């Protein structure tokens, strides 16, 4: 029997997960089909129920369902509960278990591709949505010394800081800062080792496509600038960072590594990450 895995989101037109996940299943000779389930929010419950069937191994979850899917599941893994978002669901004999592999994907890319060890560093996270939550918990758990959460809507940044404080951040000190313009965050940007963009600014097909959240003049050359936006491969922020002489990391390795971790939860097999990365790059280049 062909087993089924899917990705649920809305809209889903631009997802490249089916390409690199299917390539990985085929490479491992697994009889699994990866499907894209573009789902209107009112149909979420129906899809989740279907997932309990014995042909379904699980699913990836993307915008706008990472938080609202949680109460529909039977069990939530500890890290996903702390982050407050699920991006992977595994069907364990009819019981649906929620995980968050974004945090692990973020860290693995940071270490393996950029060679950056976040322990004892100072980080600035731009944004306070679901992606920012995964990044903030990942950095806190990895031993970052200080984390600034910067957001256009200060309340959301403050809520994330409160959650980090409540759910254990080991040695990190965390601060929320409003983001009105570059001047409002210049002091913290100047002292940081790592800048992570988790906002949709610069994202292809997004409302602020072609815009950069920071200009070259705002970016210190000693920082690593990590844009988790993966389309385009080189975002406007990364162009500015390069102009500033800073090192850069794009979002594609994180996307692939979170997918690799999900595949391992569904199949118990080691994911062929090199192949998945190559297929993701090809898919992105095709547009």
**Least distance from C-beta 211 to ligand ATR, angstroms?**
7
Nearest to 218 by CA among 184, 252, 248: 184
**Least distance from C-beta 70 to ligand ATR, angstroms?**
14
CA 82 to chain centre: 15
Q: Closest residue to ligand ATR, Cβ-based?
A: 129
Q: Which stretch binds ligand ATR (CB under 6 A): 49-57, 187-195, 199-207, 248-256?
A: 199-207
* 199 is an interface residue for ligand ATR by CB under 6 A: yes
Q: How far apart are CA 73 and CA 134, in angstroms?
A: 19
Q: Which stretch binds ligand ATR (CB under 6 A): 170-178, 195-203, 215-223, 234-242?
A: 195-203
Residues 6 or more apart in contact with residue 218 via CB below 8 angstroms: 182, 186, 189, 244
* 156 is an interface residue for ligand ATR by CB under 6 A: yes
Q: Which stretch binds ligand ATR (CB under 6 A): 13-21, 51-59, 192-200, 278-286?
A: 192-200
Residues 164-183 touching ligand ATR, rule: CB under 6 A, are none
74: phi then psi, degrees, rounded to nearest 5: -90, -30
- Out of 54, 153, 184, 221, which residue is the one contacting ligand ATR (CB under 6 A)? 153
* 208 is an interface residue for ligand ATR by CB under 6 A: yes
**Least distance from C-beta 64 to ligand ATR, angstroms?**
8
**Least distance from C-beta 200 to ligand ATR, angstroms?**
5
Nearest to 183 by CA among 227, 214, 146: 214
Residue 144: enclosing H or E segment and its boundaries?
A: none
- Out of 21, 151, 212, 248, which residue is the one contacting ligand ATR (CB under 6 A)? 151
Nearer to ligand ATR, 95 or 210 (CB): 210
Q: Are 217 and 194 in contact (CB under 8 A)?
A: no
What are the angstrom distances between the C-alpha of 62 and each of 16, 51, 79, 89, 138? Answer: 12, 16, 17, 11, 18
- Out of 79, 131, 139, 147, which residue is the one contacting ligand ATR (CB under 6 A)? 131
Residues 62-81 touching ligand ATR, rule: CB under 6 A, are 63
Number of residues that bind ligand ATR (CB under 6 A): 16
- Out of 33, 81, 152, 247, which residue is the one contacting ligand ATR (CB under 6 A)? 152
Q: Are 96 and 48 in contact (CB under 8 A)?
A: yes
Torsion over CA of 212, 218, 222 and 226, rounded to 10 degrees? -20
Torsion over CA of 112, 29, 262 and 120, rounded to 10 degrees? -10
75 is annotated as an active-site residue:
no
Exposure string for 192-208, b = 16+ CB within 10 A, e = fewer: bbbbbbbbbbbbeeeee
* 100 is an interface residue for ligand ATR by CB under 6 A: no
Omega before residue 75 within 30° of 0, cis = no
* 17 is an interface residue for ligand ATR by CB under 6 A: no
Nearer to ligand ATR, 67 or 264 (CB): 67
Residues that bind ligand ATR (CB under 6 A): 63, 127-132, 151-153, 156, 198-201, 208
Residues annotated as catalytic (active site), given as ranges:
66
């Amino acid at each position: 029997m062909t087993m089924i895995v899917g990705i649920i989101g809305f809209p889903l037109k631009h997802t490249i997960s089916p390409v690199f996940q299917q390539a990985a299943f085929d490479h491992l000779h697994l009889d699994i089909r990866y499907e894209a389930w573009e789902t209107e929010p009112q149909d979420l419950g129906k899809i989740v129920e279907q997932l309990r069937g014995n042909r379904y191994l699980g699913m990836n979850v993307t915008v706008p369902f990472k938080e609202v899917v949680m109460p529909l599941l039977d069990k939530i893994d500890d890290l996903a509960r702390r982050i407050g978002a699920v991006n992977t669901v595994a069907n364990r004999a009819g019981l649906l278990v929620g995980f968050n592999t974004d945090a692990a994907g973020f860290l693995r890319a940071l270490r393996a591709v950029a060679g950056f060890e976040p322990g004892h560093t100072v980080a600035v996270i731009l944004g306070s949505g679901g992606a920012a939550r995964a990044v903030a918990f990942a950095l806190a758990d990895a031993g970052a010394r200080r984390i600034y959460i910067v957001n256009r809507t200060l309340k959301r940044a403050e809520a994330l800081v409160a959650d980090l404080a409540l759910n254990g951040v080991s040695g990190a000190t965390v601060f929320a800062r409003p983001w009105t313009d570059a001047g409002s965050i210049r002091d913290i940007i100047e002292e940081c080792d790592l800048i992570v963009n988790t906002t949709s600014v610069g994202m292809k097909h997004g409302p602020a496509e072609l815009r950069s959240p920071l200009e070259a003049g705002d970016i210190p050359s000693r920082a690593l600038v990590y844009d988790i936006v993966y389309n385009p491969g080189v975002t406007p922020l990364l162009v500015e960072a390069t102009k500033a002489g800073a090192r850069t990391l794009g979002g594609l390795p994180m996307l692939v590594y979170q997918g690799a971790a999900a595949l391992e939860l569904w199949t118990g097999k080691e994911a062929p990450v090199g192949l998945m990365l190559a297929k993701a790059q090809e898919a992105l280049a095709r547009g």
